[in-house]
Amino acid sequence: MSKTSANISLDPALKRSAQELFADLGMDLSTAISIFLRQAVREQRIPFEIRRDIPNAQTREALAEYEEMKRDRIKYPRYGSFDELLGEVAEDAEDYKV
């Protein structure tokens, strides 16, 4: 069977990791990609599930805090510039001077 080449762009670290994995499995990157393509053609789909990563507890907490910040504009004010924010911090600092 004749072969043709295809060029793909990969993140260098991903390529190295994949090459190490496939070497441990007794094949090179080209063979692994060929296996993937054959399976995709055979099944007429991507041969594995693709889904979003489920956020961990810390990320869910941060997203909930972000939503709260959007809802409560008094507790979490918005600023037009960094200088505006620094001005408020300076005013608050004056209130605490003894």
Q: What is the mean pLDDT of residues 10-20?
A: 96
Q: Is the pTM of this model over 0.85?
A: no
Ordered DSSP codes for 33-92: HHHHHHHHHHHTS-SS---PPPP-HHHHHHHHHHHHHHH-TTTS---SSHHHHHHHHHHH
Do 29 and 15 form a contact (C-beta atoms < 8 A)? yes
Residue 97, pLDDT score: 72
Q: Tokens 């070497």 identify what position?
A: 23
Note the residue count of the chain.
98
Residue 76, pLDDT score: 86
Q: What is the mean pLDDT of residues 5-34?
A: 96
* Integer angstrom CA distances of residue 2 from 40, 63, 72: 20, 52, 65
pLDDT tens for each residue of 41-98: 999 999 999 888 888 999 999 999 999 999 988 888 888 999 999 998 998 888 777 6
Q: What is the mean pLDDT of residues 24-52?
A: 95
